[in-house]
Structure 1
Amino acid sequence: MSRHGLPWQSPAVEWWDATSLAGALKAAANRRSAKLVMPLHAVLLKLGLSASAILATSLAHLALRCGLPGYARGVFDEMPHRDVVSWTSLITGHAHQGLYQDSLALLRRMVISGVVPNGYSLSGALLACAGIGPGALAAGKEIHARVVKMSLHGSVDAVVENGVLDMYTRCGKIDYARKLFGVMLVRDIVAWNSMMAGCLRSGQAEEALGLFSSMVSSGVDADGFSFAISVDACGELALLKQGMQAHARVIRGGFDSDVVVRNSLVDMYAKCGCVDSAGLVFRDALSSDAVLWTTMISAYGKFGRVHDAICMFDRMSQLGIKRDDVAYLAVLSACSHSGLVKEGWNYFKLMFHGQNSVKMQPEHYGCMADLLCRSGYLEEALDFITNMPFESSIAAWSALLNSCRIHGNAKLGQLAASRLVQLDPENHSNWVALSNVHASESDWHETWMIRESMSIECVKKEPGCSWVELHDGVHVFLMADQSQPELVDVTWKVTFIFIKFIQLQNNRPKDLNILSIQLC
């Protein structure tokens, strides 16, 4: 830029050429200066350079960076000549802005217009498919086929192949991703991270940990995202010892100041039951990151330290840290776990009427329903659930059903269980819950009829599974599994604990017979 300032401020606009304007457009895009979009566009028109594919593409890119996709498409549509760079800029720009469907629509228009996509075009479209998830699997497969047809896979274009891998993991096809990963000639850190994250998302945390070890053994240096995944996997499996080892690797690698890694560490220690260790990591961070604060609030809430959770939530407001919908969900959950109905209602109302009101989500209503249920306000909970502005969630009806079993309200429990079966008929636990409600009332005929319906509908009860970490490894237990070498000792110990629990409660549960049968 000249000493006179930006182009339209210059006393002699004609002094500027295409190169100068291209620099101005790039600088404005880097600054995301929305107020410069129209003035720069005016300069291009005045100098008669709007037909330049390079400058028009730069202007469209600027508009996208500033969150003006409609303006960007308008500039693009007015271009007399659209080359592969122009199309690619729009496709990737829309994908990065979260406009995934528009990104895929632009790719289709590009192909129809006769312009052949390149690796960057397809990478942008793959990013869009990954953002959409399972609903874009068909489109992702089509793009993958085009990648193979254009010989862009393998070592030719690692970026494209990584995009295909990430697309399959985010579309829920971890088996496809595993096969692709197995034949990849180039496995860089991006590929390893995509595969590990995909395993973690699909509930295969143990495999994610195995991949992390294989990556390190293969000589690929882990980055912050890799460490965060390994720590998250330890948290999902509640493996404290391995989690502490992962924490040590984080420190040795110099990633202990990474906000994402710190969030994972706090969450891991909380899931392993070490909420004080989670607090130490949090306090050591000295961070104003809202995600980190929310993670700590959630940890306190899960372990009954509701007053610590509430204090942290209020402290966020005092420090000027924005409390988003996730933070509100964390504090509502803390109130629910501790039965603080009054406090929960106050925070729920604050979401509507506070200075920084947030958008209500079904999860917030579900959490309030759970709070009412846990506190024994069953009729109020039913009224709240049936009058939600959203469709009643499975979680809300499940909370009502569990509370009905605890408080002995079989009639309301039958209603909740029947509603759950209607909402999710393929979930065996809903059928079993409905059967148990009738069994608790000794309605054996209806119990038998429900079990028969499960057989007719081919609904199978998956065996329950739990595990515990001891000094010599992780021990897994399946219901009705007779292969455990110490089964007799374990059974007697669990029976002893159960009897002690009954004595402490001084209350014989109505479904004791069912529990005893399952225990044996």
Structure 2
Amino acid sequence: MADPAGLPPRLRPSTVPPPAAVTRALHAINTCTSAAALAPLRVHILREPALLRSTAVISAFFLACGRLRSLDPALVLFASLPRPHVFVFNSLLRSLPQAPACSPLPLLRHFLGLGARPNRYTFPLMLTSLSSLRELNVAHSQVAKSGFARDLHVRNALLARYAACDPDLGHAEQLFDEMPRPDVVSWTTVITAYRNHGHSFLALATFRRMFAASVAPNRVTMVSALGACAAHGAVDTGIWIHQYVQKLGWELDVVLGTALVDMYGKCGHVAEGVRVFSKMTERNVFTWNSIIGAFALVQDGEMALRWFFRMKADGIRPDAVTLICVLYACVHAGLVDIGRKIFNLIVQGEYGFQPGIKHFGCMVDLLSRSGHLNDAFRVVEAMPSQPNAVIWGLLLRGCKDHGDSVLSEHVTMQLLELEPENASHYVTLANLYAETGRWLEAHEVLKWMKEKGLAKDAGWSLRMLEDRSSKCISDGNFMECAL
């Protein structure tokens, strides 16, 4: 009976049980643990009309294919459906990995070709599997054709993918500017995109625009804005965010609290970062990394190490970033012995990972600065991968600082092999020859540079060196020139 107020009767759960075949099929699909079992299940579904008509069975099968990372059975079954329900198609999209071997666009075209209609959840699901601007443009066009161009949920999904895939953010900026009333998700997406692309000033400018538009931020907004403050050194804005959070009574959860600690640390306000850290009820390895890194940045190596040992005492397992911060602190505090010990523990697998190139770089820098050049060279030789120009450059700086011309020459040769078009390496080599009175060799290096067209990048130092080497060679007075 209709309600007196004119409302329809309340909906009640269906009392009609699903067919036994559907129940058995769902149990088999949901308990399936082997990709090899998916093909027989697909054959069984195709042979049973009741199963083929069941959106629950088809959707569960698609999701099982995604869970077991075997999409072929799902694609074959999808191609056999006469007119799949949009719920079924969305389940297929959910089963796709972030970077599928096949684009979801042909699946969408097949779906539309059967006369089916997408809904507002279809495009956001599909967009997460797209990674190229060309595909995004095609999907964007299809969004407009399907009538979802004004749907904020869909537009935000498009905005997020453009922000992730567009190197210069031009498409994302245009889409955002065309949105009549962007919500907090839209604003946060743009702020985060600017921060992730290294445009911290634009991120903070957009953050201010959001407030001018009377859109209230959420926690994700604040975390992204604090990241931009940290990168830009905008401590005043960071303090304002902290005060805003306190005014609203937001709890300092592990994500927001860590963002505040990181911002204060990178802006040089370590004491304030410590105060925030002490008020947090939950901390993770990222929180500890932020506070240790803060002391490393202000070159307080002893405090960085104290916090590192406190972290271990609290049962938090250091990760690769933790050890980079610790070794960096050792470099700038000149703590050679403790740096050696920690690096050796990393090599021995004490922390569950092998040293990466940044750990090697810190160790080479530490040993080179302290004059342990042979040890630094042995660290470079022990690297599992080929040392890059940064590693050799750190060693070269130590060689120069401590006057080791022999090792300097060897290191410079390594740099020349890695970067044969870099004129500064040739100038360094020529200078080394000149400093040891080997003016003929210095002149040959400069001559070779000219022939290769590299001289133009070396500036005045190259011209001065060339003039002096030419004069010494013409005079034949190498010893006098070397003094």
Q: TM-score by structure 1 length?
A: 0.67
CA distance in 2, matches of 1:55, 1:248: 52
Q: 1:319-334 residue pairs with structure 2 within 5 A? A: 319-334=314-329
Q: What residue in structure 1 maps to residue 478 of structure 2?
A: none
Q: Deviations over 1:272-317 (max 9, x none)?
A: 2121221111111132312111211222222233333334334434
CA contact (8 A) 2:63 2:94 kept: no
1:467-514 C-alpha deviation (Å, 9 max, x unpaired): xxxxxxxxxxxxxxxxxxxxxxxxxxxxxxxxxxxxxxxxxxxxxxxx
State the superposition RMSD in angstroms. Answer: 4.4
Q: What aligned pairs does 1:418-433 form with structure 2 within 5 A after superposition?
A: 419=414, 423=418, 431-432=423-424
Q: Which residue of 2 aligns with 1:242?
A: 237
1:231-263 residue CA offsets vs partner (Å, 9 max, x unmatched):
222221223333222221222233451322222
SS in 1 for 2:244: helix
Give the corresponding residue for 1:100. Answer: 98
- Give the equivalent residue in structure 2 for 1:399: 394
Partner residue in 2 for 1:283: 278
CA-to-aligned-CA distance 1:63-118 (integer Å, 9 cap, x gap): 64xx5323x66456456436554443343444xxxx4221x625155157455694
- The number of residues matched between the two structures is 425
Question: Is 1:140 paired with 2:136?
Answer: yes
Kept in 1, the 8 Å contact 2:265–2:290? The answer is: no
Structure 1 207/34 Cα, relative in aligned 2: closer, same or farther at 3 Å? farther
Distance 1:267 1:310 in 2: 17
User: What is the correspondence of 1:107-186 to structure 2 with a 5 Å cutoff?
Assistant: 107-111=104-108, 113=110, 115=112, 118=118, 120-129=121-130, 136-153=132-149, 155=150, 157-171=151-165, 172-186=167-181
Equivalence for 1:232: 227
* TM-superposition CA deviations, 1:219-241 (whole Å, max 9, x none): 11101121122222222122333
1:366 aligns with 2:361: yes
**1:388 to 2:389 alignment:** no
1:276/1:21 CA distance change after superposition, 3 Å: farther
Q: Which residue of 2 aligns with 1:9?
A: none
Identity over aligned pairs, percent: 24
Q: More deviation in 280-289 or 310-319?
A: 310-319
- Distance in structure 1 (CA, Å) of the matches to 2:39 and 2:393: 56
Structure 1 counterpart of 2:248: 253
**Distance in 2 between the 1:268 and 1:342 partners?**
31
Contact 1:436 / 1:447 at 8 angstroms: preserved in 2? no
1:470-489 to 2 correspondence within 5 Å? none
Change (3 A) 1:311 1:161: same
Does the 8 A contact of 1:144 with 1:164 survive in 2? yes
**Partner Cα separation in structure 1 for residue 135 and residue 156 of structure 2:** 16
* Partners of 2:34 and 2:68 within 8 A in 1: no
Q: Which runs of 5+ in 2 are unaligned?
A: 1-16, 460-483
Between 206-215 and 304-313, the greater mean CA deviation after superposition: 304-313
Contact 1:137 1:168 in 2 (8 A): yes
Report the Cα offset of residue 215 of structure 1: 0.2
* Residue correspondence of structure 1 range 274-313 to structure 2 within 5 A: 274-313=269-308
Q: Provide the C-alpha distance between the structure 2 equivalents of 1:422 and 1:121, rounded to a whole number of angstroms.
A: 52
Identify which of 173, 187, 190 aligns with 1:192. 187
- Aligned counterpart, 1:476: none
Alpha-carbon separation, structure 2, partners of 1:144 and 1:315: 51
- Paired residue type of 1:368: M
3-state SS of 2:104 partner: helix
- Aligned partner (choices 58, 61, 64) of residue 63 of structure 2: 61
In structure 2, distance between residues paired with 1:447 and 1:109: 59
User: More displaced, 232-241 or 402-411?
Assistant: 402-411
1:264 aligns with 2:259: yes
Structure 2 Cα separation of the partners of residues 261 and 163 of structure 1: 24
Q: AA paired with 1:382?
A: F
SS in 1 for 2:102: helix
Q: Structure 1 pair 93/282, CA: closer, same or farther in 2 (3 Å)?
A: farther
Cα-to-partner distance string for 1:430-456 (whole Å, 9 max, x where unaligned): 655764675575688689779969976
For the pair shown, which has the larger CA radius of gyration, 1 or 2?
2
TM-score (norm: length of structure 2): 0.71
Change (3 A) 1:15 1:340: farther
Q: Distance in 2 between matches of 1:180 and 1:246?
A: 27
Amino acid at match of 1:110: L
Is the contact between residue 84 and residue 115 of structure 1 (CA under 8 Å) also seen in structure 2? no
Query: For structure 1, which runs of at least 5 residues remain unmatched after alignment?
Result: 1-12, 131-135, 462-520
Q: CA 1:187–1:317 in structure 2 vs 1: closer, same or farther (change >3 Å)?
A: same
**1:54–1:213: structure 2 CA closer, same or farther, 3 Å change rule?**
same
Deviations 1:304-348 (A, max 9, x none): 333333343344344333333333333333333334344334434
Helix, strand or coil at the partner of 2:181: coil
Name the structure 1 match of 2:479: none
| Secondary structure of residue in 1 paired with 2:157 | helix
For the Cα contact (< 8 Å) 1:332–1:344, is it kept in 2? Answer: yes
Cα displacement string for residues 381-439 of structure 1 (whole angstroms, at most 9, x for unaligned residues): 3343344222323432332233233223455445545655665678xxx6557646755
Asked whether the equivalents of residues 264 and 270 of structure 2 are also in contact (C-alpha less than 8 Å), the reply is yes
